[in-house]
Chains A and B, each alone.
Chain A
């Protein structure tokens, strides 16, 4: 498949949690070899969109097609075949607490390949080196710093050399220096391994640094999908607020906040899945 060809297409995608509309008729595509950043404020539906793209949530309407497979309707076997060509790095790392760093990274290789022990060791060490984690092989996830956990998650996600990488909130909870370092790793992966990368983030600096194109969401609706320049030039109020780090509305008064809190607690919303 040539660079520039559509690798992911999201068509008329809508998702509900109970009665609540989370994603509203989203339409966009991701091209091979590009870094697509999905941006939006908290509660805009970014993580739900990512989970739906990964086939972890079923949409209420529309479809997501990745490498020719309709994720929304695919049987488990097809989905697993597709997922072997994809890597996913979760926001909290999702490393297995009972496995050491190296065992975490070797897990996909052990489960999906018949490679001998030596090759598995070499391949996993390569990825550790790539993420500046060499020397920490034997550490348990609980002994790693926040930045190391993110890099370890990234190393595990790319250990099978996937065509497609998804990264949920790479810079969340990291200081700017470590966040910038992680952005460099993402750019390096794109360059060195010719990967198509989808990054979900609310960090503007990170998005502008790594993105080829940006999709901006607001309350489940797509506001814009375009290149960094197109997004910067957009006159849309929400995009401008996001770019200028402005609050979308006036700061809330303490009395109004307390009132809202009381109402929320009284309502006790039903939750199916966590979303951003």
Chain B
């Protein structure tokens, strides 16, 4: 019994320590984000990697989500004779929930995991120490471009996902089921305002911060991982942890933002 309590206590302290280290890491990067100069070349590279290279998968996924939404909702709405409201429901779902959440989860899987592994390997191979020894601040040199690029890319990707998702819903309802095109667009126009757009924007920025914070922070703090290997095994473990942790935090933040903004 006492051993169990000791174990739980030790684990709690360990997790709190880790959370503290991650928070300090975030504060260090945020502080430097506003300090000039910004490395524009590195920022462009990261924008290309996180933003441009994620576009195709986001378009594909959000088109599918829009199609499925249009398809499923059509049959439900048809029973009540309100298929002319499809545009409104698809657009609301995409802009306030599906677009930000799906985009965030896809960016975590594609770019977040890669960022975590990259930074983790740099820690493991002493490249971060080498930067320190060359008097080059690793937060400023490596992390700031990644943070800015994610904060810029994710809202744009979310906007693309929203538009493509709404188009997917349009294809399903108007092209496949002959819902009048005017009714779809009219209902959408009537229900989407600044409030919905702001909610989507706030979510996309918060999710972007969560993704880049957890992905880079877990990699950067690899050497503090108290559960074992430092090399390839350690990198693979922290990458898995980062993906799971970021995904859960995104879903949790989604609930909190929705709850506070409703």
Residues on A facing B (Cβ under 8 Å): 51, 54-56, 79-81, 83-84, 86, 88, 90-92, 94-97, 107-108, 111-112, 156, 166, 268, 270-274
Per-residue CB proximity of B116-138 to A under 8 Å, as 1/0? 00000110011101101111110
Q: What's the nearest-Cβ distance from chain A to residue B139, in Å?
A: 11
* Cβ-defined contact, A94 with B223, below 8 A: no
Q: How far is the CA of A69 from the CA of B223 in the complex (A)?
A: 26
Q: Confirm or deny: B228 has a beta carbon within 8 angstroms of a beta carbon on chain A.
A: yes
Of the listed residues B122, B126, B130, B224, the one surrounded by the most CB atoms of chain A closer than 10 A to its CB is B130
Point out the residues of chain A lying under 8 angstroms from B127, CB to CB.
94-97
27 interchain pairs, CB-CB under 8 A: A54-B132, A55-B132, A56-B129, A56-B132, A56-B133, A80-B137, A81-B135, A83-B133, A88-B130, A88-B133, A88-B134, A90-B130, A91-B126, A94-B125, A94-B126, A96-B122, A96-B127, A107-B136, A108-B134, A108-B135, A111-B134, A111-B136, A268-B227, A271-B226, A271-B228, A272-B226, A274-B230
Q: How far is the CA of A177 from the CA of B184 in the complex (A)?
A: 77
Of the listed residues B134, B137, B226, B227, the one surrounded by the most CB atoms of chain A closer than 10 A to its CB is B134
Nearest A residue to B134 by beta-carbon distance? A108
Nearest A residue to B225 by beta-carbon distance? A271
Point out the residues of chain A lying under 8 angstroms from B130, CB to CB.
88, 90, 94
Q: Say which residue of A56, A88, A92, A268 sits within 8 Å of B228 (CB atoms).
A: A268
Of the listed residues A112, A271, A273, A274, the one surrounded by the most CB atoms of chain B closer than 10 A to its CB is A271
Q: What's the nearest-Cβ distance from chain A to residue B255, in Å?
A: 35
Point out the residues of chain B lying under 8 angstroms from A54, CB to CB.
129, 132-133
Point out the residues of chain A lying under 8 angstroms from B223, CB to CB.
272-274
Point out the residues of chain B lying under 8 angstroms from A270, CB to CB.
226
Of the listed residues A95, A111, A156, the one surrounded by the most CB atoms of chain B closer than 10 A to its CB is A111
Q: Say which residue of B125, B132, B227, B230 sits within 8 Å of A92 (CB atoms).
A: B125
Point out the residues of chain A lying under 8 angstroms from B141, CB to CB.
111
Point out the residues of chain A lying under 8 angstroms from B129, CB to CB.
51, 54, 56, 90, 94
Point out the residues of chain A lying under 8 angstroms from B132, CB to CB.
54-56, 83
Q: How far is the CA of A92 from the CA of B129 in the complex (A)?
A: 12
* Cβ-defined contact, B228 with A272, below 8 A: no
Point out the residues of chain B lying under 8 angstroms from A86, CB to CB.
133
Q: List B residues 128-186 near A (Cβ within 8 Å).
A: 129-130, 132-137, 141
Q: How far is the CA of A88 from the CA of B136 in the complex (A)?
A: 13
* Cβ-defined contact, A92 with B136, below 8 A: no
* Cβ-defined contact, B135 with A83, below 8 A: yes
Q: What's the nearest-Cβ distance from chain A to residue B141, in Å?
A: 8
Q: How far is the CA of A84 from the CA of B126 in the complex (A)?
A: 18
Q: How far is the CA of A156 from the CA of B127 in the complex (A)?
A: 13
Point out the residues of chain B lying under 8 angstroms from A96, CB to CB.
122, 127
- Please give 9 more A-B residue pairs, beta carbons under 8 A apart, in addition to A90-B130, A271-B228: A51-B129, A56-B133, A83-B133, A88-B134, A96-B127, A108-B136, A112-B135, A156-B134, A166-B133
Q: How far is the CA of A80 from the CA of B137 in the complex (A)?
A: 9
Q: What's the nearest-Cβ distance from chain B to residue A100, in Å?
A: 14
* Cβ-defined contact, A107 with B126, below 8 A: no
Q: What's the nearest-Cβ distance from chain B to residue A34, in Å?
A: 21
Nearest A residue to B130 by beta-carbon distance? A94
Point out the residues of chain B lying under 8 angstroms from A97, CB to CB.
121, 127
Q: How far is the CA of A7 from the CA of B15 in the complex (A)?
A: 42
Q: How far is the CA of A55 from the CA of B135 in the complex (A)?
A: 11
Q: Say which residue of B122, B134, B227 sits within 8 Å of A83 (CB atoms).
A: B134
Of the listed residues B122, B135, B141, B226, the one surrounded by the most CB atoms of chain A closer than 10 A to its CB is B135
Q: How far is the CA of A83 from the CA of B125 in the complex (A)?
A: 20
Q: What's the nearest-Cβ distance from chain A to residue B3, in Å?
A: 15
Q: What's the nearest-Cβ distance from chain A to residue B234, in Å?
A: 9
Q: What's the nearest-Cβ distance from chain A to residue B132, in Å?
A: 6
Q: What's the nearest-Cβ distance from chain B to residue A241, in Å?
A: 29
